[in-house]
Chains A and B, each alone.
Chain A
């Protein structure tokens, strides 16, 4: 029904921030239309059908080489329709949110899922509330673009002021306002609005031994008020410091040794070492090293691991998942014992158990699957300084980069972006970049010291099966008693 679409409401165009209350956008699709579309989708005898509609507006701006290169505005709007019959899922999507467009997509999805015939079903939809994760104060589309671009200039100035060795700065700003609606033949009708704001920067320093880079970023699931609390200049100075420090770095060592990971810098370790392996879709296919391990000790008893979509303002926070299920706080590992996996609709239905709010997708063009939200390890009891002091020789990782894992073997790898040698219980020389490599179950058992200084890390994008979704991670300072450092020094 075109008259329901936000684009027809002049007050909703992002370029017009003039005096009005934006609040929630008007309904994307009428509930009666949804009922009819769902009814059509299951007419040929399917077990389940779902409409996922999305309307996302985004703004991004990039600065590089001292110039604001470009401001980009984007609009993505459409619906994906999923029809399940037996173990087969049919899926089609459309950018046309009219009833005719939705019906056409429903028929494609139904044809894809099934060949049988059946009667007509009537779908009664019951609105369901999501989890209230936060309150947005300044919607990005109400903020002048000039204010967003100004953040980038401040980053550029602050980074370049950090030292004469800084030769290049690039920075990016991005925001999105994503409204989703999910309706399915189980009667679920749920909506959510997810607003995210992000800055990231990369700084290059040059010295006698070549160029080095430093990175920083910050991202939250709120509006522009994020920048009242986040000091972008401090982030820029920190990225510059990292690049300058690494100019004097020596090659990273090669071989197995103790590794201490600074608070808030190594949540990706758990994301890779066990998070993916606890996704029920991989477990069900026997493609996880953690299959059949519920109730067993899979980690050091120091470790309690949580996936928490309700964590206010964190990058992976959501009110509902992309299947309409409210986000939850899920304990995955309690005192080293595997308590539960993460679930989406299909896997939970198959096992006859509740969903866990982990059914997510990149956009309306994608099928949902089991995904993490904010994944973190709870505090231990050690003083972080003591952890270093009690390590005779090893590596201190102040910042980890991206990583990847083979969930079937548990073998994972991730990059050290900022790291130092530990010698005689003290952090000494900076190290050049390298990868860390390990085996998930082994590393979880080898965590022998856990700090009391919990912190969340940088915003991340988790990729699985070609789809990216925003995720957060965090942990206190901790030590793994042996991991392999993939440097070049003997």
Chain B
């Protein structure tokens, strides 16, 4: 979200907050989104979705009790109902001495360029043409490749949050992406791939790269076999590292820590990873896909160092978890739209990169596997115990060289061990459209389960 003082949504939120009663904390979060979603198949438009949505979520806190309600409309009568419902819900909450809304702090907003007029004005038929062009490029890249679908999507979102505690902020942003799903056939065998390109405006797309990656992802797995089970060195591709960082971030969540659910609780100041590992959450970095000016409670987004040279520095907090932990919000309230209250989460994670390319990292590995894709990470990780096991596919590494493709195996370890077994961070940072940037990681000792 970027700051933008003059907004119709702010006025709607103001009108709600003005109705606060004595002894009542009140927060109104109002948002409005519009999106275009175009899918192309075999040169024709398969679907064209043009959608606008809006809504409001109202949080009321009284005597330490919280109530919440939302509606997917900004109709005046509906807003009145939402406020009444939120108030009614207050009485069922358990009094909580730490309950409360965020208050303005002294951290300044780092301005970001999150709104692009060129995208807002981009013609519909050119959007359609981008998806068609991507399909053509993917098909042309390899004769074995078919296209499942080629897509263009854009979204423009604005929101406002106003509270009785003095928060009053609004912002807007827009962005767009293209993606393509591929299938590659060889006899009876079919493998799949995907490619994408992201931008603040379509001018930033690299369609050729997206098409090439989509074709390569599908064709490189043709003929892949199930490898023999063993322990070996694992290299995580940047795209895979980014997914792992998402899991690790849940262990650094201040709310999990205060509720006794983090394996890192009571370990601040201890070495939890190889000294090569420095992890920062920095939504003020404009290179990050999820760069933002504000968190979900309307506080300035900021840079937080979570692990520095392998030593755990601290956790991320929103105003509630911070109050309970006796500290200040780190500007890490996350909100999934108007239908919920803010939780805690990292906004834009990054591992501070090393210097060597992936090829150089691989050159020193005798027996290993380059993991290019993982599946079932959400079902195979327990962030509380740290155990994880995930389905994977990729390429074997022997004597410093990439070898045969492998699939239908798992890699497993614990998050704690993986951070300590890390032996090198690559220099190949990839700013992916995720809450974490990618970079190659080398892990010395993991279990591969296959045949």
A residues whose Cβ falls under 8 Å from a Cβ of B: 7, 13-15, 61, 64-78, 86-96, 108-109, 112-113, 145-146, 149, 167-168, 170, 204, 206, 210-213, 252, 254-256, 285-287, 289, 365, 367, 401-404, 406, 408-409, 411-415, 432-435, 437-439, 484-488
Contacts and interface: CB of A to CB of B under 8 A. Distances in A.
B384 interface: yes
Contact of A88 (B48, B54, B192, B390): B48
Contact of A210 (B340, B386, B413, B449): B386
A94 B52 CA distance: 7
Nearest to A287: B148
Contacts of B315: none
Interface stretch (B9-17, B164-172, B360-368, B374-382): B374-382
Given A69-B66, A168-B259, A439 B408 contact: yes
A68 B96 CA distance: 9
B205 interface: no
Shortest beta-carbon contacts, A-B, top 8 = A486-B410, A413-B376, A413-B391, A415-B379, A402-B379, A435-B380, A112-B48, A67-B94
Given A75-B73, A76-B72, A145-B92, 6 more contacts: A71-B89, A73-B89, A90-B48, A433-B380, A434-B389, A486-B412
A433 B82 CA distance: 42
A94 B84 CA distance: 24
Contacts of A437: 376, 391, 408-410, 449
B92 A146 contact: yes
Contacts of A256: 450-451
B112 to A, nearest CB: 26
Contacts of A254: 229, 410, 412, 447-449
A93 B73 CA distance: 12
Nearest to A406: B192
A149 B393 CA distance: 45
B267 interface: no
B126 to A, nearest CB: 15
B44 A88 contact: yes
Contacts of A73: 68-70, 82, 85-86, 88-89
29 contacts: A7-B78, A14-B85, A67-B94, A70-B89, A71-B68, A71-B92, A72-B89, A72-B340, A73-B69, A74-B339, A75-B81, A87-B41, A112-B48, A146-B92, A254-B410, A255-B451, A256-B451, A408-B191, A409-B192, A411-B375, A411-B391, A411-B407, A413-B410, A433-B389, A434-B380, A435-B376, A435-B390, A435-B391, A485-B449
B68 A70 contact: yes
Given A78-B72, A287-B192, A487-B447, A434 B412 contact: yes
Contacts of A65: 259
B93 A68 contact: yes
* Chain A, interface SS category: strand
B162 interface: no
Nearest to B416: A210
Nearest to A407: B192
Contacts of A255: 229, 449-451
Nearest to A484: B449
Contact of A487 (B81, B183, B259, B412): B412
A94 B49 CA distance: 12
A112 B376 CA distance: 36
Contacts of A285: 41, 148-149
Looking at chain B's contact residues, is the secondary structure mostly helix, strand, loop, or mixed? Answer: strand
Interface in B289-314: none
B99 to A, nearest CB: 9
B408 A484 contact: yes
Nearest to B189: A409
A255 B228 CA distance: 8
B224 to A, nearest CB: 9
A487 B375 contact: no
B48 A408 contact: no
B93 A365 contact: no
Question: B68, B78, B93, B389 — which one has the most chain A CB atoms within 10 A of its CB?
Answer: B389
A413 B378 CA distance: 10
Contacts of A149: 92
Contact of B260 (A167, A286, A487): A167
B21 interface: no
Interface of B: 41, 44-54, 66-73, 75, 77-78, 81-82, 84-86, 88-89, 92-94, 96, 146, 148-149, 181, 183, 190-192, 226, 229, 259-261, 263, 339-341, 375-376, 378-380, 382, 384-391, 393, 407-414, 447-451
A291 to B, nearest CB: 9
A64 to B, nearest CB: 6
A414 to B, nearest CB: 6
A69 B321 CA distance: 13
A211 B261 CA distance: 8
B385 A414 contact: no
Scoring B71, B75, B339 by chain A CB atoms within 10 A of each residue's CB, the highest score goes to B71
A241 to B, nearest CB: 17
- Highest count of chain A CB atoms <10 Å: which of B41, B190, B260, B390: B190
Contacts of B71: 74-77
A74 B149 CA distance: 34
Contacts of A411: 375, 391, 393, 407-408
Contact of A403 (B49, B81, B379): B379
Given A92-B50, A484-B450, A68 B385 contact: no
A367 B47 contact: yes
Nearest to A91: B49
Q: Could you say which of B46, B391, B448, B451 has the most chain A C-beta atoms within 10 Å of its C-beta? A: B391
Which of A66, A95, A113 is the most central at the interface, judged by chain B CB atoms within 10 Å of its CB? A95
Nearest to A67: B94
B260 A488 contact: no
A90 B379 contact: no
Contacts of B52: 93-94
A67 B96 contact: yes
Contacts of A204: 260-261, 384
B385 A212 contact: yes
A345 to B, nearest CB: 13
A7 B77 contact: yes
A484 B261 CA distance: 30
